[in-house]
Amino acid sequence: MSESPLPADWDGGDAIEELIHAAAISRPLDEVVHLVTLLEQSPNGLTMAASVLRVAAVTRSVDDVTRLVEELGPPNHAVDHMDDAIRSAAEQRPIPEVSRLVLLLHRPSHDPHSGAQAVQAAATTRSVEDLVQLIGRLGDDQHAEEEASRTASVPLTEKTDTTSPPAPSAPPAKLFPDTGRSHNTAPLVWLRRVAGVLLLLCAAAHFPTALADAPALGLAASFAVVAVCAAVGIALCVAESPAPAVLSTLVAGALTIAHLVEGRVDSQTLLYVLRPEGVPSPLPALSAAVAALAALVVVAATVARLRAAANRHGGVPR
């Protein structure tokens, strides 16, 4: 083996970190691959090789990152460094770039493990808001790829001899296979509908009935609470997007917290909103708590469906 390119007492100083950053960003991709390969051959360079990959995964173009995964992934290189780089990209890059990275890594030319790592990192480290955006963006990007594939196949179909049917073209690789799609979608649809109905019941439980002696601010706040609960409940029943589930969780959760602290807050407006006359006292608090739990179950089921699809496709290690 050739002599180590690094000193034995290397301590990872700022100058070396700046050198790593500049090389990972500015050098041609082939030279970055060669640099990482040489560093991995040195016992003192393993940490630096991992740093080069992380910087490149976050700063290089998405196409460059997929080429690095192909060139420096298993079986010729250790899987740990590349997994770390993929996780960094999925955690730090903007949502549109993460969506494109996930789709590219799920194409047949790549190891399914790499695509599964990207999905796992995005599903477990991004915020719930980012996850909702990523789910929508992945659906749009995958639909656009399918449309582009069908459009590209039209000229080939027109040139085919009419006496023999054209050979079917292979569909593009899907991020989430259709196997079991109907079995996974139907329960989620019913969960959304049940949670939506519970939000509507929560709105009804907080509807003000005593209007004559009601404080002006309390009456306005009551109608606002009822309107918001009803709106997110209806959206949860009819919409397919996960966004209403997230919003309903926030709304019902905030209302549940208000019920928990109502005894510690001296506010006539809050009491008027949370204890409408003519409604048994436990019913508003109970309806808010049940609705919040149901909405949270919908969000959890959406995330679980995403992870289950990733496991079926690539086998995420546990």
Average pLDDT over residues 8-27: 73
Secondary structure class of 169 (helix, strand, coil): coil
pLDDT band for position 250 (cuts 50, 70, 90): very high
Q: What are phi and psi of 2, to 5 degrees?
A: -70, 160
CA distance 132 to 128: 6
Average pLDDT over residues 290-318: 74
CA distance 95 to 126: 10
pLDDT at 13 over 70: no
Average pLDDT over residues 52-81: 81
pLDDT band for position 166 (cuts 50, 70, 90): low
Q: What is the pLDDT of residue 91?
A: 87
What share of the chain in percent tops pLDDT 90? 2
pLDDT at 291 over 70: yes
Instruction: Identify which has the larger pLDDT, 313 or 307.
Output: 307
Q: What is the pLDDT of residue 178?
A: 45
Taking the model in full, what pTM does it have?
0.44
Q: Lowest-confidence range among 22-36, 127-141, 219-233, 282-296? A: 127-141
pLDDT at 130 over 80: yes
What average pLDDT does the chain have?
Answer: 76
Average pLDDT over residues 288-313: 80
